[in-house]
Structure 1
Amino acid sequence: MYKSHGSQGYLDSWFFFTHYHPPLFSTLSFLPKAGLFLAYIHIYIYIRYPTSIQISSIPANMSLIPDTDLMLSSKEVPKGESNQKKDYKDIPIPSNLQSGNAIEVPASRSSISDAGHLIHNLSISPSMKFRRASRNSFGTSLPIPRSPRASRASLGPDVPGALRDILASQVQDLSKEKVKAAKNMAFAFDIDGVLLHGDKIIPESRRVMELLNGDNELGIKIPYILLTNGGGKTEVDRVEQISRILGSPISTAQFIQSHTPMQALAEYYETVLVVGGEGFTTRAAAEAYGFKNVVVPKDIVAWDPSISPWRNFTEEDRKQARPQDFDNVTFDAILVFADSRDYATDFQIIMDLLLSENGRLRTKAKDPLAKQMPIYFSQGDIIFQTDHKLPRMTQGLFRMALETMYKSLTGGDLERVVYGKPELATYKYADEVIMSWMKEIHNEHILPENIYMIGDNPASDIIGGNMYGWNTCLVRTGVFKGKGNDENSPANFGVFDTVLDAVQATVRKELGHEFKLRWSGNEKVKSALNGEGNVSAIE
């Protein structure tokens, strides 16, 4: 089904008429006073189909997910072919998928969500009209892994299940309705500015983890995932670090960092330049995702130091670098996984490849705008909160600077794809991970109806959650410090001082104000819940 709303419905109706009646439209366009006649048709369609139009013949095997800015054809396309010519510059990914392990999600989306009916509690303020659309180049697609359980790289050990022998006798009289409601809600937490400040815990976060891990009236796990625009390490390394700081076990199966969905790109590209992160950590992440030939900027500097004349290349760098004859290496794509630690070198090497002939270093294309190398960014935030008093710059500003350089050197706009919040692909992937985690902890592969995004950045956490139809909570412990709601991207559930305040409010809304936020069972059970793993009374 292809669904549109309001004035967008009018545009989509006009598209439907011109697309599905091309002979008639072509004839009418040459009639006398055709402009006036076509205007009448515009008015008729607008009156006849003011809100929506449905196209029921879209084939079930079409991999793209419908979106209000993407006009899909209902003509079935044979595998490996396309129903329209896709220019390399317009569609940064190859048109023929090599494997069935990826789903292509349209990068473009409406600036106003069409999922407002899913938000069960107040909602949309007039300032919603100022929300921006996707930052991706028009017509692009963002592949995400088809099955997070099958394709998630570097899964760590499973979190322990329920201690049924201890708890079974104590859950017989629990309210079935409360249990059902607890399984029908879930949380998606940002990390920086919500749970942590850099490597330091925000004190209220520890109690949140205890409550959701089972220290509550039901003794039940309430599903949650961590959804961050941070990155730069493997999922296993990052989860171990977060678990240690929070004092609570987190599984990689409930964790999404900015470049986690980008593992699907390994289905398309073999030789990639991976940028960002400390040392060589992003190489390890990319290799865990299945990329066959991963190159980082330090490899290139080790091969030809003159490529970055101001780079101070240490002996330690040289030991870990993997120089090769890059004159004979063809790069397929550029992947910016994390914040750059060496802007000058990274800018130079990225620009060298963008302006190269067919992805070869030390070459220059006659017309760089004719065939641009694909470039992907893992997220688009411009600032984020650390343990510093003021927010720090992040990858979005790096991308903006690169776009300015590219335009200055070529006169054209950089075609690029951005993952991370608030882009659609990241939230679609989050749905898959939440369902997978529900299967893990409750043996039910379902998506809870009431999902709460808790974040500190209105421009990514909140706008993304609102546009995807989630309930959103804004906290004041990070980027946002305002007294009231954010004017341009208001949280639809509310604004709270801390993450604990937000979680308590949402739990009581879904489970009742009388719901007890502590487990009242015996000490042996409480010890198991809080000290010996992430356990649940009911699975």
Structure 2
Amino acid sequence: MKLFSQYHGKRMIVSGQGPLVENAQILGFKNVVTVDELRMAFPVLDMVDLQRRPKTTPLPRNDFPAIEGVLLLGEPVRWETSLQLIMDVLLSNGNPGTGLATAPYPHLPVLASNMDLLWMAEAKMPRFGHGTFLLCLETIYRKVTGKELRYKGLMGKPSILTYQYAEELIRQQAERRGWAAPIQKLYAVGDNPMSDVYGANLFNQYLQMAKHERAEKLGASGLLKQRSSATQSCASILKTTPRPCGFLQQRGIDRIAPAMKTEEKQSRDGRC
């Protein structure tokens, strides 16, 4: 997110958990408002929970600064509240206290990270990740407007940009250590086929394309431009973990991107 400096000064609504304002500021965003702060400013927007509905109709506000973008850092706790208020921001062009006859398009810039659809915890079945929340938001936006929700930036696995950033950090470490020979092969080790393995395979495909087209064309699409990179390939390794992942294997999710070679580590009995 630090790479998107053009949005650091904009007023962004931030969604997720934990110290959201502090986390956003660490990433460079100087002017953020949380979903809870927006809900407090406009109580009538959050109507799903009957216990939280306002007992009286509050006076309309016209002193709330317009929101200029959406920052999605992770899955929130109250999905219905976040989905509703983020949609209000997008459909009102950043002025949720008002209404527009037609939804603006292109909509306000949306930045998102942590795109895992599912993840494994102590439960026997996969748990919803932030990718599931993003899918809900995309589906609602498409159903309401008839148009696609567009992201200005997607960070985290399986985004190619994340692997490019990791490659750059590895290159810098090699320089500090005084390694003369360039690093030509990277290994991406992870336990989630839908993000770790899939992202590494996408990055490997990008590296193969860069061999023939060079990085200038891909740089124009918003990805980091490679600085005479010597990296030739990236191998994905699905590591053994004690967590159950049979649900993913049974559905063939571990065979992501079959056209690309994937190196996997599995236990002798074939379980993750």
Give the TM-score normalised by the residue count of structure 2: 0.71
Contact map agreement 1:382 1:396 (CA 8 A) in 2: yes
Which residue matches 2:221? none
Q: Does 1:342 align with 2:78?
A: yes
1:229-308 pair list within 5 angstroms:
262-269=1-8, 270-278=10-18, 281-308=19-46
Question: Share of identical aligned residues, percent?
Answer: 28
Counterpart AA for 2:255: E
Counterpart AA for 2:239: V
Deviates most, 342-351 or 302-311: 302-311
Among 187, 190, 194, the alignment partner of 1:452 is 187
CA distance in 2, matches of 1:326, 1:434: 49
Cα RMSD for the two superposed structures: 2.9
Structure 1, unpaired ranges of 5+: 1-261, 314-324, 499-539
CA shift in 2, pair 1:446/1:289, >3 Å: farther
Which residue matches 1:461? 196
CA distance in 1, matches of 2:108, 2:173: 36
1:423 Cα deviation from its structure 2 partner: 1.6
Contact map agreement 1:473 1:494 (CA 8 A) in 2: yes
Q: Does 1:387 align with 2:122?
A: yes
CA shift in 2, pair 1:304/1:400, >3 Å: same
1:357-506 pair list within 5 angstroms:
358-416=93-151, 417-439=153-175, 442-444=177-179, 448-469=183-204, 470-477=234-241, 478=243, 480-481=245-246, 482=249, 486-489=254-257, 492-497=262-267
CA distance in 2, matches of 1:496, 1:296: 42
1:446 Cα deviation from its structure 2 partner: 7.7
Structure 2, unpaired ranges of 5+: 53-60, 205-233
Counterpart AA for 1:475: K
Deviating runs (4+, > 6 A) in structure 1? none
CA distance in 2, matches of 1:332, 1:391: 35
CA distance in 2, matches of 1:296, 1:446: 47
Counterpart AA for 1:267: Q
Residues matched between the structures, number: 223
Give CA-to-partner distance per residue, 1:404-430, whole Å, 9 cap, x none: 211222122222243221221111111
Report which of the two structures shows the higher radius of gyration computed on alpha carbons: 1
Give CA-to-partner distance per residue, 1:449-508, whole Å, 9 cap, x none: 23211112222211221232211111242574449993334662233239xxxxxxxxxx
Contact map agreement 1:334 1:350 (CA 8 A) in 2: yes
CA distance in 2, matches of 1:293, 1:350: 17
Contact map agreement 1:353 1:359 (CA 8 A) in 2: yes
CA shift in 2, pair 1:312/1:272, >3 Å: farther
Contact map agreement 2:235 2:263 (CA 8 A) in 1: yes
Contact map agreement 2:194 2:254 (CA 8 A) in 1: no
CA distance in 1, matches of 2:175, 2:117: 35
Give CA-to-partner distance per residue, 1:125-157, whole Å, 9 cap, x none: xxxxxxxxxxxxxxxxxxxxxxxxxxxxxxxxx
Secondary structure in 1 matching 2:71: strand
CA shift in 2, pair 1:425/1:446, >3 Å: farther
CA shift in 2, pair 1:445/1:326, >3 Å: farther
Counterpart AA for 1:338: G
Give CA-to-partner distance per residue, 1:168-213, whole Å, 9 cap, x none: xxxxxxxxxxxxxxxxxxxxxxxxxxxxxxxxxxxxxxxxxxxxxx
Contact map agreement 1:403 1:413 (CA 8 A) in 2: yes
Which structure exhibits the higher relative contact order, with contacts defined as CA atoms closer than 8 Å and separated by 6 or more residues? 1
1:496-535 pair list within 5 angstroms:
496-497=266-267
1:307 Cα deviation from its structure 2 partner: 2.1
Secondary structure in 2 matching 1:377: strand
Contact map agreement 2:193 2:253 (CA 8 A) in 1: no
CA shift in 2, pair 1:289/1:326, >3 Å: farther
CA shift in 2, pair 1:384/1:445, >3 Å: farther
1:282 Cα deviation from its structure 2 partner: 2.1
1:53-92 pair list within 5 angstroms:
none
Give CA-to-partner distance per residue, 1:27-58, whole Å, 9 cap, x none: xxxxxxxxxxxxxxxxxxxxxxxxxxxxxxxx
Give the TM-score normalised by the residue count of structure 1: 0.38
Contact map agreement 2:124 2:244 (CA 8 A) in 1: no
